[in-house]
């Protein structure tokens, strides 16, 4: 047994520090399960209750200072950047839908893809785009409106189609060389990106293939759909521009801005009134209002948890007793997962526990490539499953469904959990085991 030195935090103080998460889970998850409806309990109300509790339990500081901590975290540059994306995505999605771009793009996809390949095709497209652009958010922006229209056209489940996109989006977020999580994981563990990519494939690829096979089986049951005429082919251009500029690696806010301008130009040339188009954009921005509120509340609440010592307590508990290489790998997986649960940001979670994970891997002879892979993969798993994660909020906001609705359909994430567990238990790939 090896113990890692860490400043001691009492169990009472630590549990109190992380109690806002428990309050949130009780108000949102437990209540929703009891009434058997995740639409009944508004996510914003559950987060408001948890945030208020977080302000109450933060001891040793005047009330004004506690509120200031909440406000500073809620208004951080990272949160504001995400809100910019939400607003632009809402404006673009509404504009493209109202002028017929979404319908035209879906009809084009139906024309070229057989019905049984729509679901696996959507998953592969999401995997490819996210791998190319290195961001799950950009993939969600590009494909969610199309997924929703496909689901409605095929009389399918909207949450299921959204979950297909989310799964593929996190595939690339986990593996891409230009992903923030890849950069953070490799830098903190001291390994090369291409080496981490090769090690990561042993965990990720089986889960992706298993999901793809499942989607092919489900796709075979999709009935033939009568295809409408594409109509004005120029209406497809906004989505082609979005996908092409995203793959080119352009910043997602610039991608959305270009998409909005292109859509406006096409719509005006087709006879739409400019003020009418601005009205569409305004309605789209209004539609993400609740999404913005939830993002602010979640960020503020998680900032209070960190200020109260909640993150430090979690690190202390999970590193108190570690036995052997398997226990060390499991502790790294749990560390980044729990911290991600409390920060709702996979990159921040990796950076928070990265140095500690490096110390654990060095002491127990774990190859840094494998440590980096587990850090990145587990953070992406949690980020994809929490209903208050930015990607899920954005996808469900664009789809007009509950943030918890895709949860049961996240087959790629569930497969990835099994793959990570097996890689720890059987310590594969074997060539990465130092001892």
Confidence at residue 15, expressed as pLDDT on a 0 to 100 scale: 92
Residues pairing with 261 in the sheet: none
Q: Is the pLDDT of residue 332 over 90?
A: yes
Highest mean pLDDT of the ranges 215-224, 246-255, 346-355: 346-355
Q: Is the pLDDT of residue 148 over 50?
A: yes
pTM of structure: 0.80
Per the CB < 8 A criterion, the answer to whether 296 and 73 are in contact is no
Per the CB < 8 A criterion, the answer to whether 231 and 104 are in contact is yes
pLDDT in tens, 217-248: 887 666 555 555 556 778 888 888 887 887 77
pLDDT in tens, 38-72: 678 888 899 999 999 999 999 889 999 999 999 99
pLDDT in tens, 20-46: 988 988 888 888 888 877 678 888 899
Q: Report the b/e string of 312-321 with b at 16+ CB within 10 A.
A: bbbbbbbbee
Residue 133 neighbours by CB under 8 Å, 6+ apart: 139, 172, 176, 178, 246, 247, 249
Q: Across residues 332-343, what is the average pLDDT? A: 90
pLDDT in tens, 151-206: 887 767 899 999 999 999 999 889 888 788 888 899 899 998 889 998 999 999 99
pLDDT in tens, 6-23: 457 888 999 999 999 889
Confidence at residue 60, expressed as pLDDT on a 0 to 100 scale: 87
């Amino acid at each position: 047994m090896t113990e890692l030195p860490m400043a001691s935090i009492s169990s009472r103080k630590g549990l109190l520090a992380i109690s806002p998460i428990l309050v949130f889970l009780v108000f949102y998850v437990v209540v929703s399960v009891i009434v058997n409806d995740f639409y009944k309990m508004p996510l914003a109300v559950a987060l408001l209750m948890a945030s208020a509790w977080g302000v109450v339990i933060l001891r040793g500081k005047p009330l004004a200072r506690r509120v200031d901590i909440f406000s500073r975290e809620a208004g951080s540059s990272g949160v504001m950047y995400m809100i910019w994306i939400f607003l632009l995505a809402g404006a673009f999605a509404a504009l493209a839908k109202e002028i017929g771009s979404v319908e035209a793009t879906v009809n084009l996809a139906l024309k070229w893809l057989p019905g049984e390949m729509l679901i696996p095709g959507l998953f592969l497209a999401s995997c490819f785009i996210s791998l190319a652009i290195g961001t799950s958010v950009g993939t969600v922006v590009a494909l969610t409106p199309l997924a929703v229209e496909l689901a409605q056209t095929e009389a399918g489940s909207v949450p299921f189609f959204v979950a297909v996109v989310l799964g593929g989006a996190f595939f690339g977020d986990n593996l891409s060389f230009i992903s923030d999580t890849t950069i953070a994981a490799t830098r903190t563990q001291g390994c090369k990106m291409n080496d981490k990519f090769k090690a990561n494939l042993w965990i990720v690829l089986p889960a992706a293939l298993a999901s793809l096979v499942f989607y092919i089986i489900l796709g075979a049951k999709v009935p033939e759909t009568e295809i409408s005429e594409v109509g004005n082919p120029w209406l497809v251009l906004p989505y082609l521009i979005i996908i092409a500029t995203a793959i080119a690696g352009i910043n997602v806010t610039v991608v959305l801005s270009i998409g909005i301008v292109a859509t406006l130009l096409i719509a005006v040339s087709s006879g739409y009134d400019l003020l009418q188009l601005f009205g569409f954009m305004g309605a789209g921005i209004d539609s993400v209002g609740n999404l913005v509120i939830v993002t602010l509340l979640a960020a503020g609440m998680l900032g209070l948890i960190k200020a109260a010592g909640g993150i430090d307590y979690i690190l202390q508990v999970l590193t108190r007793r570690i036995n052997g290489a398997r226990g060390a790998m499991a502790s790294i997986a749990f560390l980044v997962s729990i911290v991600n649960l409390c920060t709702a940001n996979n990159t921040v979670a990796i950076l928070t526990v990265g140095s500690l994970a490096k110390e654990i891997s060095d002491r127990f002879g774990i190859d840094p490539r494998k440590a980096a892979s587990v850090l990145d993969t587990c953070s992406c798993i949690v980020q994809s499953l929490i209903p208050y994660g930015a990607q899920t909020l954005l996808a469900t906001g664009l789809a007009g469904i509950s943030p918890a609705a895709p949860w049961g359909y996240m087959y790629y994430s569930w497969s990835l959990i099994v793959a990570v567990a097996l890689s720890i238990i059987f310590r594969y790939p074997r060539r990465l085991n130092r001892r």
